[in-house]
Structure 1
Amino acid sequence: MCNVSVILPVYNVAPYLAECLESLIAQTYQDFEVIAVNDGSSDGSLAILEAYQAKLPQLSIISQRNQGLSAARNTGLKSASGKYLYFLDSDDYVQKNMLERCFTLAEQQTLDVIKFDAEPFTEDGVVTTNPYDSRAFLKEKKLYTQQKWLDVQRFRYNSPVWLCFIRAALVFQHNLQFVEGILHEDEIFTPQLFTKAERVMYVGETFFKRRYRKGSIMQNNIYGSRVSYDSKRRVIQLLHQEMQRKEVTKEAKRFLRQRRNVLYVDSLHYD
């Protein structure tokens, strides 16, 4: 058993995978495992993973047929043994002190979730407008109760799970998994996570480097497609179902309702 499980879905990211793995090798805190889930890659990504096992002995590889990002994350979850979880996208990378800073703070403050910032960049190295900077809205290293956290999230919310360092027990206790077969999977997973977390803290540092690249689902027209629309409608249904749970607090229902309504308005833009 290790202290941190890094879950790394891998699908056709050969040009970027080495940079991601190098950022893990460079971590100043080394008590972690990397569970790389090769999701049916056909571009040499698997060979890169295998070559890196000598440099990164904590790296284990699971290969499966292509099933999508959510399924790959769920596969990694099943093998995770760490006290904390981090979901890393394999075409991005993290700052070398990320795991050390997050693990130390989580242990000191007994945290369920640590939220931090990201910095996007394009393939030519140009930094774009940053939608992942929450310093103007969240207080640095303030301990948020669930009620306070959900209240502030109604005004400044980011869904990507790679902005969160998570206590594994929280995920397993509530049997949280990623919905498979859809886009926008974080739009349901992260709200479920936030409505279960009791102790949350924000660190205003850009631990995560987000690559905007050609060929990425996130930056392609697929997000204006029928599959995107259908995925949003599915997430809207799931958010509504989550609101109906008896154990959901008043504050959680209000937060979930807002997320549902925002996605509903977004879905109206489909043409």
Structure 2
Amino acid sequence: MSIIVPAYNVAEYIESCLNSLLAQTHEEIEVVVVDDGSTDETAAVCAAVARRDARVRIIAQPNAGVSAARNRGVQEARGTYVCFVDSDDAAHPDMVARLLAALSTAGAEIACAGRYAPFSASFEPSALGSFAAQTLSGEEACAELLYQRIPNGPVAKMFARSVVGEEPFNNDVRIGEDLLMNLDVMSQAEHVVVVDDALYGYRQREGSAMSGACAADRQRVVDELEQRSTPALTAAFANRIFAEALYVAFEGRTAALTVASILRKYRRTVVTDSKSLVQLRVYALASYLGRGMPAVLHQWKARTR
């Protein structure tokens, strides 16, 4: 069982992340840290942890981005299964054990935690209830991902090496690479099991990769989603493409992405699809009142919170 941790200039956070992994109740793990050209004390902090626990391996490479770091981790991993954990986050002590149990019980190739637990200072894992899981086909899991009922991230999931391959992430995609990776991998799986537990602590902080996103990045995600759309999942893909266009509308970025045309193309499907998120249907209805109305509604909601 391999846990892959891409790391770039996270000296302040990575020790607590690694400690949460080394405290797993399932102890037969390796932690593969890929130091992606850090210029702070990240390497020194990781080395100190590795000296204390031989289960930690450190791979150093020139800075190439999080996707390249994760791909390198997959290539270096020795386990039959792999997990991804971000270097400023934390894992519940039972994350590995519960995901492994879910895989075994369902005979699945992928296990997902259905929820994240946000934190800002320190992660306090909650007590887990009785085991509850839902088994889906690969196609059903892709639909749930597109409808935003399974979290996008590669984190809080466990993948069999047989479906994840050697290079699951597209190095050229700056944002949305996690969604695309999950779609590609889940589409190859016969079964995906979703565990109803918050097994992963997500640190809320400024300076994330998303803050540097531009309209061209969003355009790339839309293009990739449209290329992957299948007849069986047409409505689900329409929902997610509409949502990606909304992000651009909210940010006022229209140079690279013709927001209005994409909203017009997919809004009817969003409005009439009973599986659409209620909030997304409201924005789709607002778009009929004018191209700028979804952004106006979003700004009004932000002011009234």
User: Quick check: TM above 0.5?
Assistant: yes
| Corresponding position of 1:144 | 136
Q: What amino acid maps onto 2:134 in structure 1?
A: K
Residue identity (%): 27
TM-score between both structures, scaled by the size of structure 2: 0.73
Matches of 1:60 and 1:126, distance apart in 2: 26
Return 139-148 or 20-29, whichever deviates more: 139-148
Query: Could you tell me which of 106, 111, 129 is aligned with 1:114?
Result: 111
> 5 Å matches for 1:153-192?
153=145, 154=147, 156-172=149-165, 176-180=168-172, 182-192=174-184
Matches of 1:126 and 1:53, distance apart in 2: 24
- Are residues 147 and 41 of structure 1, via their aligned partners in 2, closer, same or farther at CA, if it must alter by over 3 Å? closer
| Corresponding position of 2:243 | 262
Unaligned runs of 5+ in 2: 126-130, 253-305
Deviation at 1:258? 3.1
Task: Provide the alpha-carbon RMSD of the alignment.
Answer: 2.5
Matches of 2:77 and 2:242, distance apart in 1: 34
Matches of 1:126 and 1:162, distance apart in 2: 18
Matches of 1:49 and 1:99, distance apart in 2: 21
**Number of aligned pairs?**
245
> 5 Å matches for 1:45-194?
45-116=42-113, 117-123=115-121, 140-153=132-145, 154=147, 156-172=149-165, 176-180=168-172, 182-194=174-186
Deviation at 1:196? 2.4
Would you tell me which structure has more helix in proportion to its own residues? Answer: 2
1:53–1:60 CA contact under 8 A, matched in 2: yes
1:143–1:199 CA contact under 8 A, matched in 2: yes
Matches of 2:150 and 2:124, distance apart in 1: 25
Matches of 2:233 and 2:187, distance apart in 1: 6
Show CA shifts across 1:188-214 (max 9, x none).
212222322221111111110011123
Matches of 1:163 and 1:124, distance apart in 2: 18
1:111–1:199 CA contact under 8 A, matched in 2: yes
Larger radius of gyration: 2
Q: What amino acid maps onto 1:269 in structure 2?
A: F
Highest RCO, 1 vs 2 (Cα 8 Å, sep ≥ 6): 1
- Are residues 60 and 239 of structure 1, via their aligned partners in 2, closer, same or farther at CA, if it must alter by over 3 Å? same
| Corresponding position of 1:238 | 224
